[in-house]
Amino acid sequence: SAVISQKPSRDICQRGTSLTIQCQVDSQVTMMFWYRQQPGQSLTLIATANQGSEATYESGFVIDKFPISRPNLTFSTLTVSNMSPEDSSIYLCSASVETQYFGPGTRLLVL
Amino acid sequence: AQKVTQAQTEISVVEKEDVTLDCVYETRDTTYYLFWYKQPPSGELVFLIRRNSFDEQNEISGRYSWNFQKSTSSFNFTITASQVVDSAVYFCALSEAAYGSSNTGKLIFGQGTTLQVKP
């Protein structure tokens, strides 16, 4: 199994600003993922973050809006850039260790 | 394309009733994984089960059981003698196998079923 932590757990931000979310895994993993869960909705994959390569973004998500870093096998960051109220969501990271475990999520509210 | 359908948006039962949450999936892969996650009101996503496409054996874990049928592309989840603490949103998800490993790739989630268990 894997234990995943995220920081911050929640934040309230002003439109036009950026927020970087950190994700830490307690073991080395090759594959990490970032998901978005809009209010009352299911989870949608933003991108796959593999160490040593550029993140792979899903349709509808672009690097300029959601830049991702993956500097080592236990850590990743997701930045939500130039935020608008539509970015208000829960952002979750996950790590693939045979199964997929999720962090506790970051609740973002953009005013 | 891969797709997961949870047709039941909301289910309400009275405590001690049995309840089954339905999940139907679509994929062209021969190797894939199916998952169930629980999301209580606190928001974290709790892993319940992973099943690979080659293992159709049903599984039971306490009050939880899962019925995997490839013939109907279904992976249903039953809670026996439901309790108030079972109230949550339950997600079914599908994943391709990550190339060259037993790890799972990206998850495709169903829309979720909100289960309310009343005392």
Of B12, B75, B88, residue with least CA distance to B44: B88
pLDDT at B97 over 80: no
Q: Three-state DSSP class for A86?
A: helix
Q: How far is CA B49 from CA A14, B60, B75, B92, B101, in A?
A: 39, 10, 11, 10, 19
CA dist., res. B90 & res. B79, Å (int): 11
Residue contact B109–A101, C-beta within 8 A: no
Q: How many CA atoms lie within 13 A of B47 on its CB side?
A: 19
The C-alpha R_g of chain A, in whole angstroms, comes to 13
Residue-wise DSSP of B56-103: ---EEETTEEEEEEGGGTEEEEEESS--GGG-EEEEEEEEEEPTTSSS
Please give the DSSP secondary-structure letter assigned to residue B44: P
Nearest to B103 among A31, A102, A105 (CB): A31
Mean pLDDT of chain B: 92
Summarize pLDDT for B58-91 with one digit per residue, the tens. 888 899 999 999 999 999 999 999 999 999 999 9
Residue contact B50–A99, C-beta within 8 A: yes
Whose structure tokens read 């309310």? Answer: B116
For the segment B9-31, the average pLDDT, to the nearest whole number, is 95
pLDDT at B98 over 70: no
So what's the pLDDT on residue B100? 53
Residue contact B104–A100, C-beta within 8 A: yes
Nearest to B98 among A94, A96, A101 (CB): A96
Residue contact A96–B105, C-beta within 8 A: yes
Tokens (6 digits) for A4: 């995943």
Percentage of residues in chain A having pLDDT higher than 70: 100
Residue contact A99–B112, C-beta within 8 A: no
Q: A3-24 burial, b if ≥16 CB within 10 A, otherwise e?
A: ebebeeeeeebeeeeebebbbb
- Any CB–CB contact under 8 A between A21 and chain B? no
- Confidence band, pLDDT 50/70/90 cuts, at residue B99: low
Nearest to A45 among B98, B106, B111 (CB): B106
pLDDT at A61 over 90: yes
For the segment B93-110, the average pLDDT, to the nearest whole number, is 77
So what's the pLDDT on residue B103? 62
Of B34, B26, B25, B109, residue with least CA distance to B66: B34
Q: Cβ atoms within 10 A of the Cβ of B51, count?
A: 18
Q: Three-state DSSP class for A52?
A: coil
Q: How far is CA B59 from CA A83, A93, B49, in A?
A: 44, 28, 9
Find, in chain A, the residue whose alpha carbon is nearest to that of B99.
A31
